[in-house]
Amino acid sequence: TSRVSKRGLDEVTRETLSRYFYDRTGRKPLIVTTILEA
């Protein structure tokens, strides 16, 4: 159960951060991709 919740949270966080940084800069910074894929 916790694994499913964690996975869902990670997906939401990744989508939210990607959208946030995309809206702010017009592109996804490499550092964001690195952190999310780490």
Output the pLDDT for position 16: 78
Amino acid making up residue 8 = G
33 pLDDT band, cuts 50/70/90, is low
Examine the pLDDT at 26 and tell me if it is beyond 70: no
Name which of 9, 8, 21 is nearest 32 in CA terms. Answer: 21
Tally of domains within the chain? 1
pLDDT, position 12: 80
pLDDT, the chain, mean: 67
- Identify whether the C-beta of residue 13 lies closer than 8 Å to the C-beta of residue 35: no
